[in-house]
Chains A and B, each alone.
Chain A
Amino acid sequence: MAAPALVRTENLNVELGGLPILKGIDFELRAGEVHAITGENGAGKSTLAKVIAGIYQPASGSIFLDGAAVTIKSPGDAIAKGIALIHQEPLIFPDLDVASNIFVGRMPRKATMVDHAEARRRADIILKQLGVSFDARSDVGRLSIAEQQMVELATAMSEDAIVWIFDETTASLTPKEVAELFLIIQELKAKGCAIAIVTHHLDEVFEIADTVTVLRDGTKVAERAIHDLTQPELVSLMVGREIEQQHIKSAHASPGAVMLSVENLVGPGYQGVSIEVREREIVGLAGLVGAGRTELARSLFGITHPSSGVVKVDGNAIHVKNPQHAQALGFAMVPEDRQQHGLFPNLDIGYNASATILRANSTVGWLNQGKLRQAALSILESFRTVYRNLAQPVSQLSGGNQQKTVIGRCLLQNPKLLILDEPTRGVDVGARREVHQFLRKQADDGKAILMISSDLPELLTVTDRIYVMHQGRIVGQMPTGEATEEKIMALAFGGKA
């Protein structure tokens, strides 16, 4: 701990698209130290890593390297200053061989020609140090993700990096590959490099790190030596905000019959999932990004297909063929990514609000335009959507009003089951509250609602029951009355409640 700071940030502020992402961060990374940067989704941990690696520029504040104030102009500049960033998804040239990837842009030369033989010789020396099973001639595109990350590591080594930043590097690795990576990190540490790892895996923090910095909503809430800290303490540091909203209660004493029942479902991104959603009930699905929640929702809606297991609707086993079939079964879905999967951005609000009820409002294929218009107007009205007229392109609306349009379109179908994936992401606080109350009203009217959210206060406010997913499996469930953010996070991180 006494070692001098190799990298130091002072009052660092970062804005992306006009929104503050990092606020007044003082961060120190010392030689011979493994420093974990952790926090919830959206806390700003990757942003901090990217600023130090020259990908983002700070709005204000200073960065010191070895005591001297510096400006890190670009990723190339960071590399020149000895700072290496290892990405979650390796940035590689898949069609080139390993040696060309390692020395890209600075291949050794003989006269004016690129000297491939020399590049391969030097690359093989580094690869041998890393103890990998491929050589400099291998095509990078054929390597596994873990091996491609080793190529990134080799690149950084060939550049004599002294500051190493691992940005969620373990996310796509197997446990064995993680162990191998940690061995290399230990070696780098022994050599006196400064190492930062961005992660939200608590077990990794306790396994490899010496120090941990916790970020929450863009501010630094704590920096602790790892041996002063327990896992529950770390979780409460990460979550630790006030629960500002009151639970929106069901008007009914108990939910109705089981509407959707999933038994031991296995499919792309999830395994052995069993859940139930009842009428008049809002069920939450918590977990980290990548826990398999969205994948499960996509299969329920017929976008992808489970390989085994049973889905029952009102007690009857069914196989959802495609979204049209899902709609016929009474399902509606609000997708996670509004821009990619929800909106028709250049088309008008009327189109967007009524896209799911075209067939219901047509006679032998001829649209009943008056009825469609009325339906769109009434749902937008009941949701208090702010817009000028139905002919306005939906892309001109605010995020909250866009989301109301997408949710409204799903409700126009009058579904029995409503699946919502991150329904209030990017939606401002006021609109959020309205969406929540509206969902409760829908449930009280008899709908079954399954809501995926990474926003814990949201789940605690709206739902009746919460399932927690971790690495594709359901790892716990609890009535919302008994749930706390700490309990859910501990399960989501793979620990015990």
Chain B
Amino acid sequence: MKRPEWIPAILSIAVFALFWYLSKDFRDIPYLISNTTILAETGLMAIGMTLIIIAGNIDLSVGSILVLTACLMPKLAGHASAPVAILIAVLLGAVMGGINGIIITKAKLPSFLVTLATMAIYRGIAKAMLQADSAEVAPNVKGLDRLSLLGMPYPLVIFLVFALVIGLVLHRKVLGRWLFGIGTNSEAARYAGFPVDRATITAFAVSGALIGIAAFCMDSRLGVARPDMAPGIELQAITIVVAGGTAISGGKGTMVGTLLSWLLMYFVTTGMGVMNIKAEYQLTIIGLILIVSVFGQQVATSIASHRLPKPTKLSTKP
């Protein structure tokens, strides 16, 4: 029980079993797999958010980055090929995320504040640009969600591949180590010679790039982009990350936790969807699951580690 990821894993199995028992529609595995396309986009955002939160920050603007990228991409890409459109989306997202990181590190402002502002700014730009209009997506990039690879829709494959790749970066590369240290104690990170600013900006930019991919998936799925899409998606992404055992205070978390938490979120929303539970109730239940998951992890870790009393901190000044 030492690994807090057990909690979302157990909850996922429990929720899966519950809906399997309750609903005939839930027992349709091909449907369950094909229905992942929407939440895969949120999942891509949760991957980047994991890096950001582990480094002791938060990005509230991810939903606005998603929407502005989704609105700009069709305009800039025009009728270019899909790879060019993806590249544009990735660059747009990375720049917007990078701007967040640069302001936070160079102006030394709290990420909560900065991204609260850019959340308004990025979505505001999208609204000012399109007004009540929408941006039409070129036909050649539409329909990614209906293509599949190894029996899985493309967005799901993309999400899983990036979860693996970024997970390896987080747990096996120097950058990942730095992020854990920065999130634990950014001053100690500075004294240990970590490039604190550069690593933080990189985390925000990588998150932005992943949001760019999510925006491409969304454009491709919907065929049209509107500035009022995906309301509240940033909170859903943050919920997935923290329910997966990443400490909101930074310095602790795993990509496996985020992946399992995404699975839990997927079973809950899909299960309630097939049972025709109203959206209002869904939101309440997701909130409850967040509390249960986070509280359960806290209890589990404190049982597992048999916490020794912390050494008393003494002031050595007279």
Contacts and interface: CB of A to CB of B under 8 A. Distances in A.
Interface in B160-192: 172-175, 177-178, 180-181, 184-185, 187-192
Contact of A395 (B175, B181, B195, B311): B311
A358 B195 contact: no
B312 A367 contact: no
A212 B221 CA distance: 82
Contacts of B193: 323-324, 326-327, 356
Given A42-B318, A358-B174, A346 B184 contact: yes
A344 interface: yes
B251 A367 contact: no
A343 B180 CA distance: 13
Interface string A34-45: 000001111111
Contacts of B314: 16-17, 19, 426
A343 B318 contact: no
B173 A362 contact: yes
A255 to B, nearest CB: 27
A13 interface: no
A333 interface: yes
B317 interface: yes
B24 interface: no
Contacts of A437: none
Nearest to B185: A344
Interface in A210-253: none
A148 interface: no
Contacts of A324: 193-195
A301 B175 CA distance: 22
Contacts of A345: 184-185
B310 interface: yes
Interface string A15-55: 01111000000000000000000011111111100000000
B27 interface: no
B127 interface: no
B226 to A, nearest CB: 39
Interface string A355-387: 110110010011101000000000000000000
B312 A355 contact: no
Interface residues of A, number: 52
Q: Please classify the interface of chain A as helix (H, G, I), strand (E, B), loop, or mixed, using the class held by over half of its residues.
A: mixed
A335 interface: yes
Contacts of A398: 311
B318 A426 contact: no
A46 B173 contact: no
A289 interface: yes
Interface in B287-318: 305, 308, 310-318
B318 A44 contact: yes
Contacts of B315: 16
A63 to B, nearest CB: 20
Interface residues of B, number: 32
Contacts of A340: 185, 187-188
A44 B314 CA distance: 13
A347 B173 contact: no
A46 B184 contact: no
Contacts, number: 105
Contacts of B311: 395, 397-399
Nearest to A356: B192
B20 to A, nearest CB: 37
Contacts of A44: 318
B132 to A, nearest CB: 45
A239 B316 CA distance: 17
Contact of A42 (B173, B187, B188, B316): B316
Interface string A313-353: 00000000001101100000101000111111111000100
A140 B191 CA distance: 35
Given A346-B251, A358-B177, A362-B174, A41 B188 contact: no
Contact of B318 (A46, A301, A346, A351): A46
A409 interface: yes
Contact of B313 (A17, A358, A397): A17
Contact of A367 (B174, B191, B318): B174
A341 B308 contact: no
B141 to A, nearest CB: 32
Count chain B CB atoms within 10 A of each CB in A19, A45, A335 and give the residue with the most.
A335
A47 B184 contact: no
Nearest to B180: A347
Interface in A271-324: 289, 301, 303, 323-324
A327 B189 CA distance: 13
B252 interface: yes
B180 A367 contact: no
Contacts of B251: 344, 346-347
B178 A358 contact: yes
A355 B317 contact: no
A116 interface: no
A396 interface: yes
A342 to B, nearest CB: 6
B172 A347 contact: no
A344 B193 CA distance: 13
Interface string A381-406: 00000000000010111110000000
Contacts of B178: 358
Contacts of A198: 318
Nearest to A45: B318
A-B pairs, 5 with minimum CB distance: A17-B312, A344-B184, A327-B193, A355-B192, A323-B193
15 contacts: A41-B318, A47-B318, A301-B191, A323-B191, A340-B185, A340-B188, A344-B188, A344-B251, A346-B184, A351-B180, A355-B194, A362-B173, A366-B173, A369-B172, A395-B311
Interface of B: 172-175, 177-178, 180-181, 184-185, 187-195, 251-252, 305, 308, 310-318
Interface of A: 16-19, 39-47, 198, 200, 289, 301, 303, 323-324, 326-327, 333, 335, 339-347, 351, 355-356, 358-359, 362, 365-367, 369, 393, 395-399, 409, 425-426
